[in-house]
Structure 1
Amino acid sequence: MSQHDGLPEFEAFYEKEWGSVVAFLRYLGASPPDAQDVAQDAFAHLYRCWHRVDTPTAWIRKTASRELGHRRRRAATEQKALDANPPPDEAEDGDEGGAASIYTDDRFTAAIAALSARQRQVVAWRLAGFSNAETARELGMTPENTSAMWSRAKARLAKALEEFRRGNGGDNA
């Protein structure tokens, strides 16, 4: 079987899963452009090994999650280098920004950012439609820990969004 024999199946999978993979990455705290870039890279990688992947629905999410983590680590390393030796025009503007500023583009992303990295992973997998047992298996956790993390994350998200609604009235216009 050649690498391209599965092209119609891959195309159907891509059409079906593209939006949910982007949403999965958003649940992990990625900005919309980053989620789309990471998803595209993950699908390109999947295409290259399509004929060897048994469970593409889980595979694409695991690969996308890892790629997002790699990109965040690279960005943090680059930011440290910039912080240590900032360009003259950025050193004088007083903008502290920092890593947290990437999460404040909307209420959803801000609420997701309030979760721990592990909670974001559990939320992303569960909101992507994976069961508690499937999520636990893919993340290397026990089902009990996954369930507890899911419950705590939902409670934190509900609280964060409620505080936002009360504090900002839900409207900044």
Structure 2
Amino acid sequence: MNQHDPADPLDPPAIASTADHTLEERRRARIAVDAQFSAFYRKTIKRLTGFLINHGASLPVAADIAQDAMTKAYQRWGDLREPQAWVHIVASRAYIRKATDIREEPVDQVPEPTSLLPRPDTAADWEARHDTLQLAKKLPYRQRQILAWTLSGYTPSEIAQQLELTPEAVRASLKKARRTLAEYIRQGEEEQ
């Protein structure tokens, strides 16, 4: 004999088991999303930092901006169709905002070590050893931007799509950037 009251439309034990089941599904889904994002993060963070350095950012600034972009990506993870391109765009825009900000805030002490910057005191030495980065900083912003996207593995068509340019304009800027860098290198070799 059923002890369920026919006036009560829902069976409380059925509700409880459904709620537990839903919570467990959400927990599993969250774990899967976290694992997916974690793999994306590990695959992308160093390249994104390098992308920003190629734009002209110093290593500490590039690491901070890359981390901020990844945080924003995690917050919007379910909505992103092309997460790699999205973080590159967000990071690029953040760097532009930072680069055009005139305020200087010198520090007396070297920043604390992080996983992206294990020895902050050697960042300047690392940058100095990479002459090409110093030369790239002399390029006009658009050429430096397109060169950074190219060095991150994007094709001119992909860059054009992300920056809302024509592929021809991207190719032309890339060609000018390469020619200018080659000229800078040639001049440097002649001076030595």
TM-score, normalised by the number of residues in structure 1: 0.76
Counterpart of 1:12 (choices 34, 39, 42) is 39
Could you tell me which runs of 5 or more consecutive residues in structure 2 were left unpaired when the two chains were aligned.
1-25, 106-123
Could you say what secondary structure the match of 2:154 adopts?
coil
What is the match of residue 141 of structure 2? 117
Paired residue for 1:140? 164
What is the one-letter code of the residue matched to 1:158?
A
Structure 1 unpaired stretches of 5+: 83-101
2: CA distance between counterparts of 1:11 and 1:149? Answer: 35
**1:128 matches 2:152:** yes
Which of the two has higher C-alpha Rg? 2
The residue that corresponds to 2:93 in the other structure is 66
Cα contact 1:3–1:51 (8 A) shared by 2? no
Is 1:44 equivalent to 2:71 in the alignment? yes
CA distance, structure 2, for counterparts of residue 10 and residue 63 of structure 1? 17
Give the drift of 1:112: 1.0
State the superposition RMSD in angstroms. Answer: 2.0
Q: Deviations over 1:14-56 (max 9, x none)?
A: 1111111011101101111111111111111111111111101
**Number of paired residues?**
143
Q: Percent identity?
A: 31
* Higher RCO (CA-CA < 8 Å; seq separation 6+): 1
- Cα distance 1:155–1:64, how it changes in 2: closer, same or farther (>3 A)? same
Please, what TM-score do these two structures have when normalized by structure 2? 0.68
